[in-house]
Structure 1
Amino acid sequence: MCGIAGYHGLPADPALLQRMNAHQQHRGPDGDGICVDGPCGLAHRRLSIIDIAHGQQPMDTADGRYAIAYNGEVYNYLDLRGELEALGRTFTTDSDTEVVLQAFAQWGADAFDRFNGMFGLAIWDRHEQRLTLARDHFGIKPLYVAMVPNASGEGEALLFSSEIKPILASGLYEKRVNDRSVYRYLRFRAHEDGTETFFEGIERLAPGEMLEADANGIRRRMFTRLKEELLELASVQRPYDEAAAAEYKRRLVESVRLRLQSEVPVGTSLSGGLDSSAVAVIINQLLNEGDSLSLSAVGARQNTFSAIFPGSINDEEKYVDEVLDICTGHVEAHKILPTADEFKADLLDFIRTQEEPIISSGPYAQYQVMREATKHVTVLLDGQGADEMMAGYIPYYFVYLRQLRAQGATLAAAELAKSLDVLYRLGRFKLKAKVKFKKSIPTTQLLNREFVAAHRDERYSSEGANLKKRLVEDLFHNSLPSLLRYEDKNTMRFSLEGRVPFLDKEVLKFIFSLSDEAIIKDGWNKRVLRDATRGLLPESINRRRNKIGFTTPQGEWFMRLKNHFYNIFLSESFANRPYVNQTEVIAAFEGWIKGANDVDTMTFWRLINLELWMREFIDEHEDPDDVTAAPARVKTDYEANEGQNLDLLTSLGEDVRRYPVRTELFSRDDDLDARVLEHIDAFFAGLPAAGPDHEAATRGPWWFFLSEKVVAITQGRSYFVWDIKVGRPARVLSRYVTRTPAGIGLGSPFTMQLAIQEAGLPRVLYASAGGAIGKVIGRKGLFYELVGNQINAIDGPTEYSAYPSNVSAKLAPKDPDAVAARLSAAIRERVPEPWRSTFGGTVIMDANDIGRNVLGSDVPGDWTRFEEMFADNPLGQGSQQTPMAMVFLREGTAQA
């Protein structure tokens, strides 16, 4: 699972791609890359699942014609690979990405309908200068597009990405609210019923849709007839019987099994409902059978993750426990207990995660589950999609009853008699409201009159008398798209891949080929699934008729958080929105608190969600996802970094004070000496005001310490990883290097490529052979001794470092001794007495939480003492931005 982004119709702009990519880093923390060619640019962030060692993107075909940025998994890729190999195509990786790319090279856009899985992809044809975008049959993976002004300002260019935030971060899109989407959301609860989003001018590709962009313009069309095929199958229904149930079970089990393909740990999201429970017990059955694929991906024990709400009407823990009992011995259960207070604390991040308003707080339970799951697994299966293909919601009964009535009153009456208990649950809350004489308040009363008048022609309708037509509608238009959006946003927020085995197009086609009785019969929905899992699931779940779903106890939480929400409704920003009538909203909320009206929390949630979404995405404020944003309070040069100390007594008995100096980020265009001297001047000029303790601490000998990173950066020896052209030798050699924590060392293709460039491939191969011999004879470090060139100081991108070090690889600084001597000479000319005569020199230091290494200095003697002075890494590596330090030896200590 990954994130893609890019453009078409703009001049080459790597910085734009990098900016867009930085805003979806959570989708792919394992790597990134860009491709720029003519009017097209592709960007990719990778979450490694299959063929971890390879599959980096953007990926090119061997002839260089096609380049792909791809997000998703195609589960039948091995079958497709075999078919392509029979046609003469060869492969250099084991990834499904290469299969997708080669399939397009072989079959063009016809390849997309052959894929069984989930995908959002972009393919650039260098020969035809054509960009092709496509989204999978169900829309499991998102793909957003926007038209923006091109460089000349006289035409338009296309932006695309897996999320909306990269488009917002492009600097080319002018943020505007789609008032139509807002109205349909507030009035009809519609929030993903077409290609429009809540951002005017940003659209999503529809499920099964593709887009082509070239010099002739932009064309959009469906690449599949899946919806039409389903309706055609529904018109020629085969009888439903035990054999059909057995065949469905075989297909579903295989669908689950295919979605266990992974080189990283796989787990299961278990709500306690029929669908997710079915997935969990099927995996358990595969483990019991010793299925090699399942054991490889899941392990001996299946990790399950469940949100529970003890004491709440929403709680399904007893059903979860019954599934866990069946899986005893092969399961590791994780139960998450979301609370109202946690919801409040997470609310803004949750809204940023979803990117667009949603109709309830229910997906927060999933958000919490994903946050826990990412600590244990990287892939998570769940039961999404089963409701929409097998009539899992109560309103489907009404559709089916109308259909039966059209076929004959007797049929409808018989089905109605066996469905009364189900239908009662739908109406009981409305009945209670009427019995208690609660005031009825229409949603439009809470909205601004002018806003309502402007959209009076909007309508929202759905198929009401044909079951399978309604299911198709909900699968591709009304219901499932929003659920898939929640799934994608919540999983990817925590760098997880979500897989949905029910959404297998061949399994779906099989269901639609059966008579409607396979879906609803005698008051039982999902009949084929119930029959297929009889004996696998406990009867209490298999025969369960009350559906709760993955949700929160929203009513209870709203009552607990009523003061917080009340303040939102009272806010000036809410009052000034052109969509709402603040007076009516406040009155209705007060009435709800008192139990005097029938307005439900879903209505209030939509108002709250819209307001907070406007604040986060539309109102002008600091971007919370800006990776270069500085902390609200900047520390002074006379304070320690957070969690660190100014003073240290070294193992050599030296008492030192280290002043970490904060700077702006360095770039290769900076004059290192000028930047250093600027901070030296500022430090000593401000020292008197820092207080007598600091003046006393600076009377002894002192040294200037400088991070090797900024020296390398200003020397042009730091490279964004997407700018490093990794060759095959680097990819191969890096596999045999032990990867140190946080990416330091040569355990990545990027750093190994830099080593090859710095020392030459022959010397690296020579040193590698020597290192291998060294391991045999028990001598460590022989590789670095033989390779030379300070290769041991090469650093890879580290996630804890400040930007751009988190996306860069760096060589050791060139001639660090000379750099130190040059800086020391300049410092001696600048600093006033008494510090000039006590200045000892400059130290170029490579320090992190793993170790310290002086790379260069103009101070004679043993440099071990300086490494000891940084034993606790006082500069830090993250947002501190303190790459230099003044280090003073306190008076009366061991050395001078």
Structure 2
Amino acid sequence: MCGIAGYVGFEADEALLRRMNDCQRHRGPDGEGILIDGRGGLAHRRLSIIDVAHGQQPMSTADGRFTIAYNGEVYNYLDLRAQLEELGHTFTTDSDTEVVLEAFAAWGSDAFDRFNGMFGLAIWDHQNRTMTLARDHFGIKPLYVCRSAGSGADGGDAWLFSSEIKPLLQSGHYEKRPNDRTIYRYLRFRIHEDGRETFFDGIERLEPGEMMTIGEDGRAERRTFTRLREELAELASVQRPYDESTAAEYRERLVEAVRLRLQSEVPVGTSLSGGLDSSAVAVIINRLINSGDRTTESVGQQQNTFSAVFPNSINDEERYVDDVLDICRGHVDGHKIKPTASEFKADLRDFVRTQEEPLISSGPYAQYQVMREATKHVTVLLDGQGADEMMAGYVPYYFVYLRQLRAQGARKAATELSKSLDVLYRLGRFKLKAKLRGRRDVPTTQLLGRDFVGAHQGERYVVEQANLKKRLIEDLFVGSLPSLLRYEDKNTMRFSLEGRVPFLDKEVVKFIFSLSDEAIIKDGWNKRILRDATRDLLPDSIRRRRNKIGFTTPQGEWFMTLKNHFYGIFLSESFANRPYFNQTEVLHAFEGWIKGTNDVDSMTFWRLINLELWLQEYFDEQPSADTVAVQSQPKTDYEPNARKSLDLTLDSGEVVRRYPLRTELYAREDDLDEKTLGYIERFFAGLPSAPPEHEVATKGRWYFFISEKIVAITQGRSYFIWDIKVSRPARVLSRYVTRTPAGIGLGSPFTMQLAIQEAGLPKVLYAAAGGAVGKLVGKRGMFYDLVGGDIRAIDGPTEYSVYPANVSAKLAPKDPDAVAARLSAAIRARVPEPWRSTFGGTVVMDANDIGRNVLGKDAPGTKERYEAMFADNPLGQGSEQTPMAVVFEQP
């Protein structure tokens, strides 16, 4: 398995090829090579599997006419080599790459349909000055293309291509733009592998079985090189009768497909989920080991299997994995990986970056974790991808089959339905429970931006509903399998592994489609032929399982555990400003999901989260590394926060020095006075060892400033968002509040609800009307003047805050003047002289980078003076965790 990249139409550019090649080093850490010939260029990264000592690329024919950069494996290469040798071709390596190249030299693009395997390749014709690109029949290996209009050497088009999207982004010839149509179809219909289009506007993929020829002048032609899809439809109409002999023949074909995929000079292992498909692959390999089959030399005497398990979760399949390991006992080394919610959170951004485009669920993260462990032991991994799409492995296929039978006669449909009820119940039970509990239905479009929905409301997605074989063909090439193969490729290559999928052997797939539908579904059993073919291989616990789980994660459980983290994403300023989302409705729906009051599922929230993180990763400006490092470093009591200063000169010319104190998080059960005094005592105790300049800076009168947030928290006036029951007036009114850049204030339905509870709805409505009038006459802030009280101090969750402030809304503290007086008395009783006699008092401050508001104090002077001392807000209540400060007037 490798990575390829290249261009057609640009002037010779070695730096471009190397830049693109470096982006996918993980696809081929064993070697690299480039070729430049005029306006054609090829780059290759090699992961050595077959003929490790040779087979370097780009590789050219002996006459120098054709040069190839190739990613994949063609498993019937030995048969093809023999045919080519009969035609007079000679070979200097044992690699399948040379066979692929010579096959193209002999048969042209007709060669591609002879290949049984997986490939994404580029072949440069030095004579005709053309580049030929091709992708395998099922699209197991990716190949992306991008047209650069008018960038060719003569003003024509130029083209870029690569195995991943990242090289195209780094080429310098593509301007990044999200594809809004693809984004809409993803959010609305759960589509994320949408034909040629990708999530990047202007970057396309070659489709399964497609080739592309590009001339040096930039002219391009795309066409399919195979009739496989049509051939499967033709075979489906044959309906060869199904019996035990056909099951036996299928087993022979599947065993041979597995044998072919064991060809390797590096270690081979198996991805084992515990389901029927991967279990079948594992036990077939075990049988081959026991029989002494030479192809298992790549496996060794101990087959390495890799399984993701989730103890105590509804998704856990460990007992089925153990059943397979028990069968293979003596010739198996089973590796169990136990992904957790905290690991998922830690890996989330790398996982999103790895996939390059959004996914419809977090399920592939289990595979990501498995591949990370597998790369420590093997270089090639077999798994069961593709079996579901050719043998109706998903429950919705039952409905398609039942509609088909109904058209053939009511009795047939009724008989099949009666034997499928338990399977169908599993699909409908969650929706049934939601209806019985009165959960509110929330249309997906309600969570999306109004203008965004309006621009794409004409989009439709229609699938075959009444013909089983037609639906399976659709899902093999369009609806389902392409996305699964994308995960497979991204996850394996992220960790420099080659993934192989024996169920997608071209001849095995043809065989299944030539059989009657009863080979696929019969008497409520899907995958019937595979179940029958493994009767003496697998235990009934696996072979006769009715509940399919698949290689996935306990997403719902994890999301509930990580709800505060996901709230932070939904509350982020970037999420609020996207045209794709209706932030208020998303927050409302997420709150309802947590409380169990609506029927929105975690898959919907995952799509929103995944899209937001993808946009952040690939389109938003990333913070510089040094800024991130500074923000993550704890500070002493005598240093300023990042990008802040200790000293501030007031308009009067007076200078004050502010020392922000780092604290632990405050909780409702904390004793505010006792915990706070500990930090003040720590500050003064450390002064003798502080830098010398602090002796002068601490001579004048001093004050203690404390954030109103921690006062409110310890008074029980801070609430998790999901504990606030938001009324309709709060939702409506919050839409008309101008949001601050930090996302705080009453621009959230949660904070607006607190304002209504604190001041009463009539007063809030009165103030809202006054605020609207004030805006018309150019007077701002009238809402807060009219509503009165400390409504201005109500704060909502902000993305930069640490937990629990990032998922909480709070009222202003109660009796802040009394709190200030009480703290001052405690401070005077505890701090030693000379600090006691120079202490001026305590100030309870609501401060952020937008404005300051003194809520309470027992210090002399006006509130405006103390607010001026915080004109640049030296505190940090995010990762800095400095919600209080000791402030000295400078003598």
Taking structure 2 as the reference length, the TM-score comes to 0.70
Determine which of 293, 296, 299 is the counterpart of 2:295: 293
Residue identity in the other structure for 2:295: L
Partner of 1:326: 327
Partner of 1:654: none
Partner of 1:547: 548
Cα distance, 1:193 vs. partner? 2.7
The answer on whether the counterparts of 2:158 and 2:218 sit within 8 Å (CA) in structure 1 is no
Cα distance, 1:630 vs. partner? 13
Residue identity in the other structure for 1:425: R
Structure 2: how far apart are the matches of 1:451 and 1:57?
46
Cα gap change, 1:216 to 1:333, in 2 (>3 Å): closer
Structure 1: how far apart are the matches of 2:48 and 2:380?
10
The answer on whether the counterparts of 2:304 and 2:335 sit within 8 Å (CA) in structure 1 is yes
Partner of 2:367: 366
Determine which of 274, 279, 284 is the counterpart of 2:276: 274
Partner of 1:438: 439
Q: Deviations over 1:306-341 (max 9, x none)?
A: 000000000000000000000000000000000000
State the secondary structure of the residue aligned to 2:146: strand
Q: Map of 1:329-340 to 2, 5 A cutoff?
A: 329-340=330-341
Instruction: Confirm whether residue 517 of structure 1 aligns to residue 503 of structure 2.
Output: no
Q: Map of 1:770-809 to 2, 5 A cutoff?
A: none
Measured on the aligned residues, the alpha-carbon RMSD in Å equals 1.5
Q: Map of 1:598-617 to 2, 5 A cutoff?
A: 598-617=599-618
The answer on whether the counterparts of 2:152 and 2:218 sit within 8 Å (CA) in structure 1 is no
Structure 2: how far apart are the matches of 1:83 and 1:522?
45
State the secondary structure of the residue aligned to 2:502: coil
Q: Map of 1:203-242 to 2, 5 A cutoff?
A: 203-214=204-215, 215=217, 217-242=219-244
Cα distance, 1:620 vs. partner? 2.4
Partner of 1:61: 61
Partner of 2:477: 476
Determine which of 225, 246, 251 is the counterpart of 2:253: 251
Structure 2: how far apart are the matches of 1:493 and 1:273?
24
The answer on whether the counterparts of 2:132 and 2:213 sit within 8 Å (CA) in structure 1 is yes
Residue identity in the other structure for 1:126: H
Structure 2: how far apart are the matches of 1:566 and 1:589?
8
State the secondary structure of the residue aligned to 1:502: helix
Partner of 1:108: 108
Structure 1: how far apart are the matches of 2:242 and 2:24?
46
Cα distance, 1:631 vs. partner? 10
Q: Map of 1:456-495 to 2, 5 A cutoff?
A: 456-495=457-496
The answer on whether the counterparts of 2:10 and 2:153 sit within 8 Å (CA) in structure 1 is no
Q: Deviations over 1:429-480 (max 9, x none)?
A: 0001001101110000000111001001100110000000000000000000
Instruction: Confirm whether residue 356 of structure 1 aligns to residue 354 of structure 2.
Output: no
Structure 2: how far apart are the matches of 1:477 and 1:169?
28
Structure 2: how far apart are the matches of 1:391 and 1:349?
33
Structure 2: how far apart are the matches of 1:256 and 1:14?
40
Structure 2: how far apart are the matches of 1:332 and 1:83?
39
When Rg is computed on C-alpha atoms for both structures, the one with the higher figure is 2
State the secondary structure of the residue aligned to 2:223: strand
Structure 2: how far apart are the matches of 1:545 and 1:459?
33
Cα distance, 1:622 vs. partner? 6.6
Cα distance, 1:151 vs. partner? 4.8
Cα gap change, 1:596 to 1:153, in 2 (>3 Å): farther
Instruction: Confirm whether residue 26 of structure 1 aligns to residue 26 of structure 2.
Output: yes
Residue identity in the other structure for 2:221: R
State the secondary structure of the residue aligned to 1:211: strand
Residue identity in the other structure for 1:255: A
Structure 2: how far apart are the matches of 1:224 and 1:630?
53
Partner of 2:169: 168
Q: Deviations over 1:376-431 (max 9, x none)?
A: 00000000000000000000000001111111111111111100000000000000
Partner of 2:744: none
Structure 1: how far apart are the matches of 2:53 and 2:452?
54
Partner of 2:773: none
Partner of 1:619: 620
Q: Deviations over 1:800-829 (max 9, x none)?
A: xxxxxxxxxxxxxxxxxxxxxxxxxxxxxx
Structure 1: how far apart are the matches of 2:166 and 2:623?
14
Cα distance, 1:632 vs. partner? 6.0
Structure 2: how far apart are the matches of 1:264 and 1:604?
41
The answer on whether the counterparts of 2:157 and 2:219 sit within 8 Å (CA) in structure 1 is no
State the secondary structure of the residue aligned to 2:63: coil
The answer on whether the counterparts of 2:182 and 2:194 sit within 8 Å (CA) in structure 1 is no
State the secondary structure of the residue aligned to 2:359: coil
Instruction: Confirm whether residue 199 of structure 1 aligns to residue 200 of structure 2.
Output: yes
Cα distance, 1:154 vs. partner? 3.8
Partner of 1:758: none
Structure 1: how far apart are the matches of 2:318 and 2:41?
48
Partner of 2:580: 579
Partner of 2:504: 503
Partner of 2:821: none
State the secondary structure of the residue aligned to 1:309: coil
Partner of 2:133: 133
Structure 1: how far apart are the matches of 2:65 and 2:480?
39
Q: Deviations over 1:112-138 (max 9, x none)?
A: 000000000000000010100000000
Cα distance, 1:623 vs. partner? 9.7
State the secondary structure of the residue aligned to 1:579: coil
State the secondary structure of the residue aligned to 1:414: helix
Residue identity in the other structure for 2:283: V
Cα distance, 1:155 vs. partner? 3.0
Q: Map of 1:644-663 to 2, 5 A cutoff?
A: none
Structure 1: how far apart are the matches of 2:315 and 2:622?
37
Where does the alignment leave 5 or more consecutive residues of structure 1 unmatched? 634-690, 692-896
Q: Deviations over 1:511-553 (max 9, x none)?
A: 0110000000000000000000001001110011100000000
Q: Deviations over 1:774-804 (max 9, x none)?
A: xxxxxxxxxxxxxxxxxxxxxxxxxxxxxxx
Structure 1: how far apart are the matches of 2:384 and 2:596?
36
State the secondary structure of the residue aligned to 1:42: strand
Partner of 2:15: 15
Residue identity in the other structure for 1:242: E
The answer on whether the counterparts of 2:9 and 2:153 sit within 8 Å (CA) in structure 1 is no
Q: Deviations over 1:82-123 (max 9, x none)?
A: 000010000000000000000000000000000000000000
Which of 153-162 and 390-399 deviates more? 153-162
Equivalent residue pairs, number = 630
The answer on whether the counterparts of 2:25 and 2:45 sit within 8 Å (CA) in structure 1 is yes
Structure 2: how far apart are the matches of 1:152 and 1:606?
41
Q: Deviations over 1:722-743 (max 9, x none)?
A: xxxxxxxxxxxxxxxxxxxxxx
The answer on whether the counterparts of 2:344 and 2:365 sit within 8 Å (CA) in structure 1 is yes
Structure 1: how far apart are the matches of 2:152 and 2:203?
19
Cα distance, 1:216 vs. partner? 7.0
Instruction: Confirm whether residue 46 of structure 1 aligns to residue 64 of structure 2.
Output: no
Structure 2: how far apart are the matches of 1:478 and 1:560?
31
Structure 1: how far apart are the matches of 2:489 and 2:129?
31
Cα distance, 1:208 vs. partner? 0.2
State the secondary structure of the residue aligned to 2:253: helix
Q: Deviations over 1:16-39 (max 9, x none)?
A: 000000000000000000000011
Cα gap change, 1:266 to 1:622, in 2 (>3 Å): farther
Cα distance, 1:153 vs. partner? 8.7
Percent of aligned pairs with the same amino acid:
78
Structure 1: how far apart are the matches of 2:377 and 2:239?
44
Cα distance, 1:618 vs. partner? 1.1
Structure 2: how far apart are the matches of 1:141 and 1:411?
41
Partner of 2:285: 283
Structure 2: how far apart are the matches of 1:200 and 1:153?
25
Cα distance, 1:41 vs. partner? 0.4
Structure 1: how far apart are the matches of 2:365 and 2:274?
17
The answer on whether the counterparts of 2:325 and 2:332 sit within 8 Å (CA) in structure 1 is yes
Structure 2: how far apart are the matches of 1:199 and 1:352?
14
